[in-house]
Structure 1
Amino acid sequence: MPAVKAAKPNEIFTREEWAALTRVSRWHGLWLTLHGWLMVALVTGGTALLWQWHWLAGLIATPVALVLVGGRQLGLSILMHEAAHGLLHPRRKTNNFAGQWLTGSATGSDLHSYRAYHLTHHRFTQQSEDPDLGLSAAFPTSKASMRRKVIRDLTGQTFLKQRGNQFAVAWKGLQAMLSGAQDTAPSAKRDHSAGTPLNRNGAAGVAAPVVDLEGAKRTTRTVGRFLLIQLIVLLVSLATLGIWPFLIWLAALATTFQMILRIRNIAEHACTTTGGDDPFSHARTTKANMLMRMTLAPYWVNYHSEHHLFMGVPCYNLPEAHRLLLAKGYGPKMTIANSYAEVLRTVTRPVAAEA
């Protein structure tokens, strides 16, 4: 199918408005990266101190900490997504370093593989060529089905399945590296999508069978970076407050991060009236209060319609883009939900009701 129709900023914004919206700050993206890690340190460290003070206080605080840390892990993935668009820093090397090492590696992602994958998603949003179509095509679904998905996320089943797949690919890549094996199949026949199993947020996902040794080697390097970051988090944890901060970080990565990631994916495209000829229908924007911004919608990711309309706008300028669109009368053309609860009600209505 043809690529989806793109919005024309010059028909919507003045030259001054567009220049301000697309200006990439030299410090804002780096500050957000630091903010993400500081929030992780604050929450995991504070919870560890509560455990040391009294086991009951630690027990009560831990579920809250898991949700907050899972939200910051999503936040780090969001910032890698920013780097994939070249929006984390105006200097390309700094942008790519921050996107690869300071954000993406924390959740097991490869910036460069994700960039190619994600730009395809933008080009063919909700079309048959969209690599993310499977994340939204299954909706609406039943409440029972949604409940099973959430249970799998919160019990670590999703994490183990995804990491198992990614580590299996990495093992094949490591074997190829050690043996010096090279690809023998023609490049046109290689399955490059299998190289790094990523979902749309850059987090590890279930990939196709690997037939591309170079892709498997990339996954090996991705897993190596992921394990190195986990080791650094462990060492910092042990050097300060003991094992507890690391355990909270790892538990969140295996549980709440997976659930938060799923809800965020659903909110962005599921049950939207997407059409290739209408750029205003490609995604959903969801209003978020402070609690949602701390968990499901860090770093303005809830402004997803604005992001698809103008993917050159940094995340910290998306609220202003939203304000301008509403002021110029474009609100009725957009899909805007009042809350994430509203989105979940929309996507879990009985399938039979759609007939």
Structure 2
Amino acid sequence: MTTRIKDIFSAAEIEQLTRKSNLAGLWVLLRTWGVSAGCFAALALWPHPLMWLLAIVLLGGQQLCCAVATHEAAHRSLFKTRWLNTRLVDWLCARPVWLDVERYRQHHMHHHAHTGTAQDPDLTLVDMYPTDTAGMRRRLLRDALGLTGLKRVLGLFLMDIGAMHYTVSGDVRWRPRAQRGLTVYLRNGLRNLGPMVLSQLALFALLWACGAAWVYWAWPLAYLTSFSVFLRIRALAEHACLPGGSEVFANTRTTRAGWLARCCVAPLNVNFHQEHHLMASVPYHRLPQMHRMLRVKGLSDAPQGYWSVIKLAASRSA
């Protein structure tokens, strides 16, 4: 039997938990781009290889923060004001990491409707787990070296021009030949690729105006490398190695996140993923409160950390 949220929380508790805030959304934008600006400034002042490494790691975390903010906006919960979710987040969070709020929303609602079942469009992100230790190392190495990122870029390009159906998982589905062609590619490319390219040009121009255009390249480098690592760890923590089925307590996991995890793989309380699937209208800044309430009601246990989940996902015998 599927858990009903009204059997867990009172109407007053639901009203409190789902209360949105424009200030909380604004803080996300200021913090994300403030940290990113600090990374670019540090690189411009101290262009040491170790600083490049640190900046790429931190920028990958901020790119994941942009992706999670896009996820929140897709649920219309990052901001209280509707257009801030659909327009501001689209330009300041989604486009810089090659997403867009509307197409992501359409895909993601199917994930929520079919989580843990054969119809879940994100199932291919986690159905290879558990793997063995060598398999996990290979996947993470491909992520860190940029090979996964290059594959993702190619897929996004083909989706944006309309050659493939849009997805954020690894489920590759080509459009019928009748729906493809040069005219279709040009029209779709202008509509879908254009805003992403404009966002990159704007970031480059801003850094150029600051006299450090060359530090822009840390952004695509992070996108191809550390961002890919963090995406994988986030995905396997949320839904990998679980019983599955339609019951949220069996198909979704909440993970404990320390300060390092929050900088890299768990921005905006995204580690409270079971709570999010229980009630997707709860904004990110109220998820820890929801988790505490579930613990008090005896419905949630102390979560395991990210390292424990990674070991679980790599626990299959070779």
TM-score by length of 2: 0.92
Determine helix, strand or coil for the equivalent of 2:260: helix
Contact (CA 8 Å) 2:241, 2:313: kept in 1 or not?
A: yes
The aligned runs of 1:13-162 (5 Å cut-off) are: 13-51=9-47, 58-162=48-152
Query: Does the CA-based 8 Å contact 1:106-1:226 persist in structure 2?
Result: yes
Q: Secondary structure at the match of 2:46?
A: helix
Query: Structure 1, residues 109-128: CA drift from partner, whole Å, max 9, x if none?
Result: 12111111111111110111
The gaps in structure 1 that reach 5 residues or longer are 52-57, 174-193, 200-204
Gaps of 5+ in 2: none
Q: Indicate the residue corresponding to 1:246 in structure 2.
A: 216
One-letter amino acid of the structure 2 residue matched with residue 239 of structure 1: A
2:311 maps to which of 336, 340, 345: 345
Task: State the AA in 2 paired with 1:19.
Answer: E
Instruction: Give, in whole Å, the separation in 2 of the partners of 1:120 and 1:169.
Output: 18
The answer to whether residue 174 in structure 2 is matched with residue 209 in structure 1 is yes
Q: Say which of 3, 9, 27 aligns to 2:5.
A: 9
The verdict on how the C-alpha distance between 1:91 and 1:218 changes in structure 2, with shifts beyond 3 A counting, is: farther
Does the C-alpha gap of structure 1 residues 169 and 347 become closer, same or farther in structure 2, counting only changes over 3 Å?
A: closer
* Cα deviation code 1:79-132 (max 9, x no counterpart): 000011011222222210023211111111121111111111111101111001
Shift in CA distance, 351/117, structure 1 to aligned 2, threshold 3 Å: farther
Query: In the alignment, which of 302, 307, 323 is matched to residue 276 of structure 2?
Result: 307
The worse-fitting range, judged by mean Cα deviation, of 21-30 and 162-171 is 162-171
Which residue, out of 227, 232, 250, partners 1:257?
227
Q: 1:97–1:267: structure 2 CA closer, same or farther, 3 Å change rule?
A: same
Identity of aligned residues (%): 34
Q: Is the 8 A contact 2:107 2:167 kept in 1?
A: no
Equivalent position SS for 1:284: coil
Give the alignment's TM-score, normalised by structure 1: 0.82
How many residue pairs end up in the alignment?
Answer: 313
Conservation of the 8 A alpha-carbon contact between 2:161 and 2:184: no
| Partner AA of 1:210 in structure 2 | R
Q: Counterpart in 2 of 1:191?
A: none
Report the residue type matching 1:11 in the other structure: D
2:288 match: 319
**1:126–1:172 distance in 2 versus 1, CA, 3 Å:** closer
Deviation string for 1:1-43 (max 9, x for gaps)? xxx93x4232222332211110011221122122111111111
Deviation at 1:172, TM superposition (A): 6.0
Q: Give the Cα separation in 2 of the matches to 1:99 and 1:165.
A: 23
**CA separation of 1:118 and 1:63: change in aligned 2, threshold 3 A:** same
Deviation at 1:218, TM superposition (A): 4.5
Question: Which whole-Å CA distance do the structure 1 matches of 2:162 and 2:126 have between them?
Answer: 31
Distance 1:219 1:304, change over 3 A: farther
Tell whether the 8 Å contact from 2:121 to 2:171 is kept in structure 1 after alignment: no
Could you say what secondary structure the match of 1:286 adopts? coil
Map residues 148-297 of structure 1 onto 2, 5 A cutoff: 148-171=138-161, 194-199=164-169, 207-211=172-176, 212=179, 217-218=187-188, 220-276=190-246, 278-297=247-266
Cα deviation, residue 219, structure 1 = 5.4
* Residue 60 (structure 1) shift: 1.7
Q: Which amino acid aligns with 2:254?
A: T
Amino acid corresponding to residue 261 of structure 1 in structure 2: L
CA offset digits 1:217-257 (Å, max 9, x no partner):
54542221111111111111111141343111121011100
- CA, structure 1 residues 169+129, in 2 after alignment: closer, same or farther (shift >3 Å)? closer
**Distance in 2 between residues matched to 1:195 and 1:274, nearest whole Å:** 25
Q: For the residues of structure 2 that align with 1:264 and 1:330, how far apart are their CA atoms?
A: 23
